[in-house]
C-alpha cells in the first residue's frame, strides 16, 4: 500500500498537469495571444454586422478583401461569387441584398464561408478556417493591421473622368451624368439633371440616413462610392477598356495612390500641364466673402469684405474639399457669425481664422509657411501671438467708393463683379529694395572668443529671399508695402530699414528679467542654424570647400 502512494501521487500530478494544459489551451484562446502583426494591409474590412442585432458574442471578423479577390481570380470567378445582383446592381452585402433576422444573417456567413473553405481544402489548395475554428476568424489581435489610406477624388481625377469617352452617357455631349444624379421622387429613381451637379457629400453622409422629404434612404457615402466607382471600373475592365482600380489596394494603398498620381501627371501633361477648372454652373472666378445676416437681425456686421480669388485658390489645391467640406455651398451657408448647427457651431470668424484648422484661411496659409522657401523666416514665429494691427487689412479691404452701405446685401452676381474689381485694384507685389537699402555684409563678433567674427552676407541672403517671393502671389500679398519680410530675422523690431541690433534685446549671457529670452549667443545660433534646418540647407560653400551647414567653421574662422 505504501508503495502505491508515490504512484498515486504521480498519477495525480499528471492529471493536474493535463488539466492545466487543456485549461491553458482554452485560456490561450480566450486571451487571444496572437502573434505580432506580420504586415500592414489596405484591404482590411471589419465584419461586425451582428452588432446591429445586439452585443457581439465573439470579436468582429477581420476580413482581407483583396486576398479573397485574388484567390477568386485564379479560379476565374468574379465578385458575383460573394455578392448578389439585383436590378443590374451588385449588392455590397455578402450573399444577400437585404438583412434578415440575426440567425439568418449569421447562417449566411457561416454556411457560405465554411462551405467555400472546405471545398478549397478538399481540392488540396490553401484555404481559410473551417467549421469549429471560431478563433481563427473572430480574433482581437489579427495577424495584419490596417494601412488603409483615404482615397479622395482630386480635381485631376475629375478632369480625367470628365474627358473620358468610355463613360459617355448616350445622347449627351458631356459625361457628367455618368456620376452626378439627383433623386426624382415622382419617378422613384435617380436621374441626371444638367446644371445641378454637386459633390457626392452633398447628399451622401458618413452613414445612411432617411430623407423624410424624398421618402427614401440615402446611402452612406462609402456604399455609394463603392457601388458607383468600383462597379463601373469592373464593368469597363470586363469590356477590356481602360478602367480605374478594382481592388482596395488600388485606391487605399500607398502603391496604388502613387500609380494614380503618376497617371494623373501624364494626363494633365497632355492637357498643357495645368488641371483645367471644374466645369461647374455658376462658379465664380472671384467673389466677396461677407457674413450672412441672421434672420430678423437688423444690426449691421462691422466687417470689411474679403475679395476672394476663387480661380487662383482652385488651381492651388488638388480638391475642392479643402474648403468645401460638404457640397459646394458658400462658407456662410453653414458658418454664421454666432455659429449654427449646420456648421457644427463653428463661427464664421473661427472658420476663417482658426490657426489650428488646415481648412481655415489662416490655417491653410500657415501650412504654406512650412514650405522650404518660406520656412526660413516663419519657422520660429510665435503661432499663439495675436495678429499685427494692420494685418487684417491685407484681406479685409474697403469697398470701392459708392458701393456698400449699412444694409449692403449684394447678389451672387454682384459679389463676383465687386470681388473682381477689388482684386484687380488691390493685388499687391512684394516690396523691392535697392542695393543701397541693404547692407552688403554684417559682421557678428561682439561675443567672439574662440573664433573670429562671423561675416554675414546680408545682401546676398535678402536678395535670395526676395527672389523666392517674386513669383509667389501669396507671399507678394502679405509682404507688400512695408518691410515685414525683414522681421523673419529682426523679430519684435519696428518695421524699419534700420532695425535695432540683436544685442539691444538679447543680453550676454541673457537678460535676468526676461528668463524666457535667449542670450545673444543662443539667439544668433538658434536663428541661423534654425533657418538652415527649416529650409533643408544641409551644406554650404566656403571658398572652394563644401561644408556641413551646422559646422562652426562655415561662419567662423578659428582664431590663430
- Nine-digit cell string for 232: 463601373
What pLDDT sits at residue 426?
64
At 36 the pLDDT is: 43
Average pLDDT for the chain = 85
Q: How confident is the model at residue 265 (pLDDT cuts 50, 70, 90)?
A: very high
In angstroms, how far is the first alpha carbon of the chain from the final one? 100
Exposed / middle / buried, residue 322 (Cβ in 10 Å: 0-12, 13-18, 19+): middle
Q: Which residues pair with 86 in a beta bridge?
A: 89
Give the rounded distance of the alpha carbon of 299 from its chain centre. 38
Residue 109's alpha-carbon distances to 40, 62, 81, 494, in angstroms, are 25, 13, 13, 72
Q: Which residues contact 100 (CB under 8 A, 6 or more apart)?
A: 108
pLDDT, tens digit (0-9, with 9 covering 90-100), for 160-199? 999 888 888 777 888 898 899 999 999 988 999 888 888 8
Cα–Cα distance for residue pair 374/368, rounded to 1 Å: 8
95-105 tens-digit pLDDT: 999 999 999 99
pLDDT tens readout for residues 126-147: 899 998 899 999 998 888 999 9
- pLDDT at residue 410 in the model: 87
SS3 content of the chain, % helix, strand, coil (to 5): 40, 10, 50
Task: Choose the weakest-confidence range: 172-176, 221-225, 526-530.
Answer: 172-176
Predicted pLDDT at 404: 78
Residue 428 has pLDDT above 70, yes or no: no
Task: Count CA within 13 A, CB hemisphere, residue 503.
Answer: 7
291-314 confidence digits (pLDDT tens): 877 665 556 667 889 999 999 999
| 189 in Cβ contact with 299 (< 8 Å) | no
Are 360 and 331 spatial neighbours (Cβ–Cβ below 8 Å)?
A: no
Please report, rounded to a whole number, the percentage of residues in the chain having pLDDT higher than 90.
38
Give the three-class secondary structure for 90. strand
- What is the band of 416 on the pLDDT scale with cuts at 50, 70, 90? very high
pLDDT of residue 484: 76
**Who contacts 357 (Cβ-Cβ below 8 Å, separation ≥6)?**
350, 351, 363
> What CATH topology corresponds to 34-146?
Cytochrome C3 (3.90.10)
CA distance linking residue 247 with residue 66, whole number of Å: 6
More confident residue, 423 or 26: 423
154 touches 147 (CB < 8 A): no
CATH fold, domain 286-426, is Cytochrome C3 (3.90.10)
Cell of 191: 436621374
Q: Is 94 helix (H, G, I), strand (E, B) or coil?
A: coil
Q: At 284, is the secondary structure helix, strand, or coil?
A: coil
Residue 23: what pLDDT? 33
Chain-centroid distance, C-alpha 559:
52
Contact between residue 433 and residue 484 where contact means Cβ atoms under 8 Å apart: no
Q: Taking 50 as the threshold, does the pLDDT of residue 512 lie above it?
A: yes
Instruction: Quick: pLDDT tens for 33-65.
Output: 444 445 899 999 999 999 999 999 999 999 999
Residue 206 burial (CB < 10 Å; 0-12/13-18/19+)?
exposed
Q: Are 521 and 448 in contact (CB under 8 A)?
A: no
Predicted pLDDT of residue 83 = 95
**CATH entry, 155-270, from 3.90.1150.10, 3.90.10.10, 3.40.50.300, 3.30.70.1450:** 3.90.10.10
Alpha-carbon gap, residue 429 to 104, rounded angstroms: 69
Tell me the mean pLDDT in the region 504-516: 85
pLDDT at residue number 38: 58
Dihedrals φ, ψ of 309, to 5°?
Answer: -85, 95
Nearest to 238 by CA among 82, 78, 67: 78
Residue 242 is predicted with a pLDDT of 87
pLDDT tens for each residue of 66-107: 999 999 999 999 999 999 998 888 899 999 999 999 999 999
All cell numbers assigned to 280: 461647374
Q: In this predicted structure, which of 225-229, 335-339, 479-483 has the lowest mean pLDDT?
A: 479-483
DSSP symbols for 511-553 = -TT-TTSPPHHHHHHHHHHHHHHHTT--EEEETTEEEETT-HH
Give percent of the chain with pLDDT exceeding 70: 89
Rounded to whole angstroms, how far apart are CA atoms 301 and 297?
10
117/299: higher pLDDT? 117
**Section 224-239 average pLDDT:** 91
pLDDT of residue 325: 83
Residue 444's CB: how many other CB atoms inside 10 A?
A: 17
Question: How many residues in the chain?
Answer: 560
Over residues 436-475, the pLDDT tens digits come to: 888 999 988 888 788 888 889 999 988 888 888 877 888 8
For residue 3, pLDDT over 60 is answered with no
Among 51-55, 508-512, 550-554, the range scoring the smallest mean pLDDT is 508-512
Question: By CB neighbour count within 10 A (0-12 exposed, 13-18 middle, 19+ buried), where does 489 fall?
Answer: buried
User: What is 435-555's CATH topology?
Assistant: Cytochrome C3 (3.90.10)
Question: Which spans in 427-472 are helix H?
Answer: 458-470
Amino acid at each position: 500500500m505504501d508503495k502505491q502512494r508515490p504512484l498515486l501521487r504521480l498519477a495525480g500530478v499528471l492529471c493536474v498537469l493535463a488539466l492545466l494544459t487543456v485549461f491553458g489551451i482554452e485560456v490561450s484562446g480566450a486571451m487571444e495571444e496572437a502573434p505580432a502583426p506580420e504586415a500592414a494591409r489596405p484591404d482590411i474590412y471589419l465584419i461586425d454586422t451582428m452588432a446591429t442585432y445586439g452585443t457581439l458574442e465573439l470579436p468582429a471578423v477581420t476580413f482581407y478583401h483583396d486576398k479573397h479577390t485574388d484567390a477568386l481570380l485564379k479560379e476565374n470567378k468574379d465578385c458575383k461569387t460573394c455578392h448578389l445582383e439585383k436590378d443590374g446592381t451588385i449588392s455590397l452585402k455578402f450573399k444577400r441584398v437585404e438583412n434578415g433576422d440575426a440567425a439568418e444573417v449569421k447562417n449566411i456567413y457561416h454556411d457560405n464561408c465554411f462551405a467555400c473553405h472546405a471545398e478549397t481544402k478538399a481540392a488540396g489548395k490553401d484555404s481559410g478556417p473551417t467549421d469549429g475554428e471560431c478563433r481563427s476568424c473572430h480574433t482581437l489581435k489579427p495577424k495584419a493591421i490596417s494601412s488603409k489610406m483615404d482615397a479622395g477624388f482630386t480635381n485631376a481625377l475629375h478632369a480625367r473622368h470628365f474627358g473620358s469617352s468610355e463613360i459617355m452617357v448616350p445622347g449627351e455631349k458631356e459625361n457628367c451624368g455618368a456620376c452626378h444624379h439627383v433623386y426624382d421622387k415622382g419617378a422613384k429613381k435617380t436621374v441626371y439633371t444638367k446644371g445641378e451637379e454637386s459633390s457626392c457629400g452633398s447628399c451622401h453622409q458618413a452613414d445612411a440616413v432617411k430623407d423624410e422629404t424624398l421618402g427614401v434612404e440615402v446611402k452612406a457615402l462609402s456604399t455609394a462610392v463603392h457601388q458607383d466607382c468600383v462597379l463601373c471600373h469592373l464593368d469597363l475592365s470586363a469590356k477590356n477598356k481602360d478602367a480605374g482600380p478594382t481592388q482596395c489596394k488600388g485606391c487605399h494603398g500607398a502603391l496604388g495612390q502613387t500609380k494614380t498620381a503618376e497617371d494623373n501627371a501624364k494626363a494633365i501633361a497632355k492637357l498643357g500641364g495645368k488641371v483645367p477648372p471644374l466645369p461647374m454652373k455658376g462658379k465664380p472666378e472671384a467673389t466677396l466673402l461677407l457674413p450672412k445676416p441672421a434672420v430678423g437681425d437688423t444690426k449691421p456686421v462691422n466687417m470689411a469684405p474679403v475679395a476672394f480669388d476663387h480661380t487662383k485658390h482652385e488651381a492651388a489645391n488638388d480638391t475642392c474639399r479643402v474648403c468645401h467640406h460638404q457640397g459646394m455651398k458658400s462658407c456662410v451657408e453653414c458658418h454664421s457669425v454666432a455659429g449654427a448647427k449646420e456648421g457644427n457651431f463653428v463661427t464664421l470668424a473661427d472658420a476663417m481664422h482658426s490657426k489650428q484648422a488646415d481648412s481655415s484661411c489662416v490655417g491653410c496659409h500657415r501650412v504654406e509657411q512650412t514650405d522650404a522657401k518660406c520656412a526660413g523666416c516663419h519657422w520660429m514665429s510665435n503661432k499663439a501671438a495675436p495678429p499685427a494691427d494692420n494685418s487684417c487689412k491685407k484681406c479685409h479691404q474697403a469697398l470701392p467708393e459708392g458701393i456698400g452701405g449699412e444694409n449692403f446685401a449684394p447678389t451672387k452676381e454682384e459679389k463676383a463683379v465687386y470681388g473682381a474689381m477689388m482684386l484687380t485694384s488691390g493685388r499687391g507685389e512684394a516690396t523691392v529694395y535697392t542695393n543701397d537699402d541693404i547692407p552688403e555684409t554684417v559682421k557678428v563678433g561682439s561675443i567672439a572668443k574662440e573664433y573670429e567674427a562671423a561675416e554675414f552676407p546680408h545682401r546676398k541672403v535678402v536678395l535670395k529671399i526676395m527672389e523666392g517671393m517674386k513669383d509667389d502671389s501669396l507671399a507678394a500679398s502679405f509682404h507688400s508695402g512695408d518691410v515685414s519680410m525683414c522681421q523673419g530675422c529682426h523679430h519684435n523690431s519696428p518695421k524699419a530699414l534700420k532695425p535695432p541690433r540683436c544685442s539691444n534685446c538679447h543680453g550676454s549671457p541673457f537678460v535676468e528679467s526676461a528668463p524666457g529670452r535667449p542670450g545673444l549667443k543662443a539667439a544668433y545660433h538658434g536663428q541661423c542654424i534654425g533657418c538652415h534646418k527649416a529650409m533643408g540647407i544641409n551644406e554650404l560653400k566656403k571658398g572652394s570647400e563644401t561644408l556641413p551647414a551646422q559646422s562652426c567653421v562655415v561662419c567662423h574662422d578659428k582664431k590663430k
